[in-house]
């Protein structure tokens, strides 16, 4: 079964750090790009970061640039998100999601086809 399982969330004070992990199973992790997406309580989804299969390409949303670092260990089938200088507004459920590419005659299309159940991050004093 294709599965993603996040861990590492918790309660942290503003300015603190957390490292989220996402364990992948049931597919060839090293062949896929990955994403982190978050959802603040009662809010919509917000894409946070992307990493390509070989870690050669990385993107972040502006609000986390310089504070968050995405990484992966293909030997361990794991994705990570190091979160530093946490702010109240980083409070959210954090999901990891597999990035899939559809190579059609009209171009390349990217979408997130497998999601974990999420891990909760609460930033509060």
Partner 1 sequence: DIQMTQSPSSLSASVGDRVTITCRASQSISSCLNWYQQKPGKAPKLLIYAASSLQSGVPSRFSGSGSGTDYTLTISSLQPEDFATYHCQQSYITPYSFGQGTKLEIK
Task: Enumerate binding residues for partner 1 (CB under 8 A).
Answer: 35, 37, 44-47, 50, 59-62, 95, 97, 100, 102, 104, 106-107, 109-113, 115-118
Instruction: Give the residue with the Cβ less far from partner 1, 2 or 13.
Output: 2
Task: Count the helix, strand and coil residues of the chain and give each as a percent rounded to the nearest 5.
Answer: 10, 60, 35
Closest CA to 110 of 121, 100, 120, 95: 100
What is the CA 52 to chain-centroid distance, rounded? 12
Whole-number minimum distance, CB 13 to partner 1, in Å?
Answer: 26
Instruction: Give the residue with the Cβ less far from partner 1, 23 or 45.
Output: 45
Whole-number minimum distance, CB 9 to partner 1, in Å?
Answer: 14
């Amino acid at each position: 079964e294709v599965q993603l399982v996040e861990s590492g969330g918790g309660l942290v004070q503003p300015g603190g750090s957390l490292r989220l992990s996402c364990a992948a199973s049931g597919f060839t992790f090293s062949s896929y790009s990955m994403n982190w997406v978050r959802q603040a309580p009662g809010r919509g989804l917000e894409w946070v970061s992307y990493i390509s299969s070989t870690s050669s390409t990385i993107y972040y949303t502006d609000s986390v640039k310089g504070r968050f670092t995405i990484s992966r260990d293909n030997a361990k089938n794991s994705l990570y998100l190091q979160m530093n200088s946490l702010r109240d507004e980083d409070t959210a459920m954090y999901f990891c999601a597999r990035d899939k590419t559809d190579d059609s005659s009209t171009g390349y299309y990217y979408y997130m086809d497998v999601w974990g159940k999420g891990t909760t991050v609460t930033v509060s004093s």
